Structure 1
Amino acid sequence: MSASSDMQALLRLMAWLSPAFPVGGFAYSGGLERAVHDRLVTDAAGLEGWFSTLLRCGTLWNDAVLLAAAAAANGEGETLAELSELGLALAGSAERHLETLSLGKAFLSAATAWPHPVFEALPKDCPYPVAVGAVASAHGIQPAQAVAAFLHAGLSQGVSAGIRLGVCGQQQGVEILARLEPLMAEMAERAARANLDDLGTATVQADIASLRHETQVSRLFRS
């Protein structure tokens, strides 16, 4: 890939995973709001631990593997349909299902500003990581780079949610992102080499928090 192509890929990745990209990610906390309510996460250290666990063996890891698999599908419609079904089936709660499906649809709708035949190959109901992986691959973005950017965007949104929930301040939030940077890079590289047999989570408390959030009366977020 030429230097100009590399620059173009970087700019597109920055646009697609920017907080300004109209997917509505700010409306979701992935169960964090319930975890704060139940005092599973009470401070900056707890917030960092929460995200570190999700990266290593939680929903962020599964999303990273799905994204890499979608990138490897090279726009093949049947494979992308199967990955989408799998991604939606892996959603551990109704809210998690709503979150990944809503973000996926919003992402694809906005990303059509960069036309490509891959949009015709993707199913109507497409989870967020599959949508990002397929579109990124179609535009020549390397899987590890796409996964790294996706994880960074997810963690940035999570830290923002933590700040709004009063768990930490803005400076502490930035420090969390800085400390998690090596782990994000490591998990992105691992996901790029992984296959579907590597899917799986071991985050029972996070899954329960997501389920319990469905019945939480007073809340800021949709998940």
Structure 2
Amino acid sequence: MTAKRNVDSLLRLMAWMSPAFPVGAFSYSGGLESAVDDRRVSNAAGLDEWIALSLRRGTLWNDAVMLCQAWKGFEDRAVLDEIAALSRALAGSAERYRETILLGDAFVGAARAWPSSVFERLPQTPTYPVAIGAVAAAHDIGLEDVLAAYLHAGLSQLISAGIRLGVAGQTDGVAIMARLEEMVADVAGRAGSTTLDDLGSATIIADTAPMRHEVQATRLFRS
């Protein structure tokens, strides 16, 4: 039974984090498009650094902390309401807010294909990491596993955006993914023991990029 449960958990994570899962993640760049337009990211090395900073000290780190809290509090409606409210408040721009809310709503809608009572406890507007954390916990998926899968999906999304923006090729993208693999594992391990006191970022340019994107003349992505 344990082996089957592990396989079930893996299959669900693969489905939920797949680019084919209907959340629309492909349409967001998290401000990367603005950074490319401003020539702050102009090649594969710059894309690698941009993603690594997000993992260690930026949006992906804060998302991992919020996912952890939602995973731990998935059985308590009041806790989920509080975590979701804080997660929404952390969105530093209108585009970032829409991105995490719309991804969260889309994830919840699609994940209902796997029935669970957790959907009745989630707030009406959960952010993406909060929705994933709570739903994963309700399906007995390990915290470090879902953290690693979420972070890997996040870096894959940014790599894909970088390729479409022309700052890296597919071979570059695979190389970045390979180089950051150990960092993803490390961040997932650290995030699994975090509290809300561990929230915070040190990526001011990346955090303000979605704000600049709002007034960018030509845009391929929604953020």
Q: Deviations over 1:134-165 (max 9, x none)?
A: 00000001111101000001110110000000
**What percent identity do the matched residue pairs reach?**
59
Q: Distance in 2 between matches of 1:30 and 1:212?
A: 11
Could you tell me how far 1:217 is from its partner in structure 2?
A: 1.3
Q: Deviations over 1:144-201 (max 9, x none)?
A: 1101000001110110000000000000001000000000000001110101000001
What are the ranges of 5 or more consecutive residues in structure 2 without an aligned counterpart?
none
* Alignment-derived partner of residue 202 in structure 1: 202
Q: Deviations over 1:20-70 (max 9, x none)?
A: 000000010000000000011010000000000000110000000000110
Paired amino acid for 2:187: M
Could you tell me how far 1:75 is from its partner in structure 2?
A: 2.1
Runs of 4+ in 1 over 4 A off after TM superposition: none
What are the ranges of 5 or more consecutive residues in structure 1 without an aligned counterpart?
none
TM-score (norm. length: structure 2): 0.99
Q: Distance in 2 between matches of 1:195 and 1:207?
A: 22
Q: Distance in 2 between matches of 1:32 and 1:123?
A: 29
Indicate the SS of the match to 1:193. coil
Q: Deviations over 1:54-100 (max 9, x none)?
A: 00110000000000110000321000000000000000110000000
Q: Distance in 2 between matches of 1:113 and 1:216?
A: 38
What is the RMSD of the two structures over their aligned residues, measured on CA atoms? 0.7
Q: Distance in 2 between matches of 1:92 and 1:147?
A: 22
Indicate the SS of the match to 1:115. coil
* Alignment-derived partner of residue 68 in structure 1: 68
Indicate the SS of the match to 1:141. coil
* Alignment-derived partner of residue 163 in structure 2: 163
| 1:151 corresponds to 2:162 | no
Paired amino acid for 1:126: P
